[in-house]
Amino acid sequence: MRALNALIVRTLPLVPKPIVRTIASRYVAGESLEEALATVRDLNREGCMATLDVLGEDITRREETEQTVLEYRRALEEIGARGLDSNISVKLTALGLKLDPEFCRAQFDRIVEWARRFDNFVRIDMEDSSVTEETIRIFLEFHRRYEKVGLVLQAYLRRSVEDARRVAAVGANVRVCKGIYVEPPSIAFQGREEIRRSYMELVELLFDAGCYVGIATHDVALVERSLATIARRGLTRGQYEFQMLLGVAGDLRRRLVGQGHRLRVYVPYGEAWYAYSVRRLKENPAIAGYVLAGLLRREKPPVRTQ
């Protein structure tokens, strides 16, 4: 399977863009805000909440941030105006974190002020390990000023338990995920089961501290372990939510919603969809296998994207 995944990734540049677009359309809501809002509306009708992500990361010029900031502002305005149940997820490298952390803070501040105006929540996505520490610092600074800012912790990083303690101390709202970037064994667990163990350790630690936890996974084993924890602790709907990516694990998603759990779908959109799809496939060739399987199954996407 690994060789096949690598082959798919190597030949990707040869695949015509319209075909990549067809594959990506399962995971990306579209290029425009209008398409993304239509997806959110459909998800809301299914009983799911959403989080909107304006695609674009690792920018190389400061000017590129302007469009992203304005897009988030429009998204927050329209979510409010249309009464949709969605918040936003932001990648700090799309705001220049790797160019100039102070510049990035100033841009993020504009987004947070818009969120405050519309009484909405802003999740800071977690990116590769070169920006973990700065991302946590920025989270802590902004959380002091506006409580509706949340963070993501990655279970594969060995440091995450310590980080969970730091952010639990301020009562953070934390999304826990496995982690999608390729990181070396010196800083990241590599084995499937050790990552699962770390995942549950983070979830338990955060629940112990009274934090609201976003359980972001499609791994049935982790969903089952989380459900057991939720039942054992007698947690109510207001203390956690499940989170999944658009186009992934529709059956599991419907099952959880049917059982009465809160569930949020991550909805990426924007003009940078091609770069995003290709980069994701290159960063983690395992995803190429999912893409191929999706193509072969020719499953209908679980939500209409337009």
List the catalytic residues: 125, 175
In angstroms, rounded to a whole number, what is the distance separating the alpha carbons of residues 173 and 177? Answer: 13
In angstroms, rounded to a whole number, what is the distance separating the alpha carbons of residues 265 and 207? Answer: 22
Nearer to ligand FDA, 154 or 198 (CB): 154
Q: Given its phi and psi angles, is residue 257 left (phi above 0), alpha (psi -120 to 50 degrees) or beta?
A: alpha
Of 5-24, binders to ligand FDA (CB under 6 A) are none
User: What binding mask, one character per residue, do residues 139-168 give for ligand FDA by CB under 6 A, x or -?
Assistant: -------------x-x--------------
Residue 191: burial class (beta carbons within 10 Å; 0-12, 13-18, 19+): exposed
Q: By CB under 6 A, is residue 28 in contact with ligand FDA?
A: no
Q: By CB under 6 A, is residue 198 in contact with ligand FDA?
A: no
Closest listed residue to residue 244, CA positions, set 267, 221, 217: 217
Q: By CB under 6 A, is residue 179 in contact with ligand FDA?
A: yes
Query: Cβ of residue 91: shortest distance to ligand FDA, in angstroms?
Result: 8
Q: By CB under 6 A, is residue 219 in contact with ligand FDA?
A: yes
Q: By CB under 6 A, is residue 290 in contact with ligand FDA?
A: yes
Q: By CB under 6 A, is residue 86 in contact with ligand FDA?
A: no
Nearer to ligand FDA, 77 or 301 (CB): 301
User: What binding mask, one character per residue, do residues 111-130 give for ligand FDA by CB under 6 A, x or -?
Assistant: --------------xx----
Question: What is the separation, in whole angstroms, between the first and last Cα of the chain?
Answer: 33
By CB under 6 A, name the one of 92, 136, 180, 267 that touches ligand FDA: 180
Nearer to ligand FDA, 20 or 177 (CB): 177
Q: In a 3-state reduction of DSSP, which class is residue 284?
A: coil
Query: Cβ of residue 17: shortest distance to ligand FDA, in angstroms?
Result: 20
H or E segment and range at residue 281 = helix 273-283
Q: In a 3-state reduction of DSSP, which class is residue 266?
A: strand
Q: By CB under 6 A, is residue 217 in contact with ligand FDA?
A: yes
Q: Which stretch binds ligand FDA (CB under 6 A): 29-37, 71-79, 183-191, 211-219?
A: 211-219
Q: By CB under 6 A, is residue 177 in contact with ligand FDA?
A: yes
Residues 6+ apart with CB under 8 A from 292: 4, 8
Q: Can you give 145-203 as a three-state secondary structure string?
A: HCCCEEEEEECCECCHHHHHHHHHCCCCCEEEECCCCCCCCCCECCCHHHHHHHHHHHH
Q: By CB under 6 A, is residue 206 in contact with ligand FDA?
A: no
In angstroms, rounded to a whole number, what is the distance separating the alpha carbons of residues 4 and 286? Answer: 10
User: What binding mask, one character per residue, do residues 260-279 give for ligand FDA by CB under 6 A, x or -?
Assistant: ------x-------------
In angstroms, rounded to a whole number, what is the distance separating the alpha carbons of residues 170 and 62? Answer: 32
Binding site residues, ligand FDA, CB under 6 A: 125-126, 152, 154, 177-181, 216-219, 243-245, 248-249, 266, 287, 290
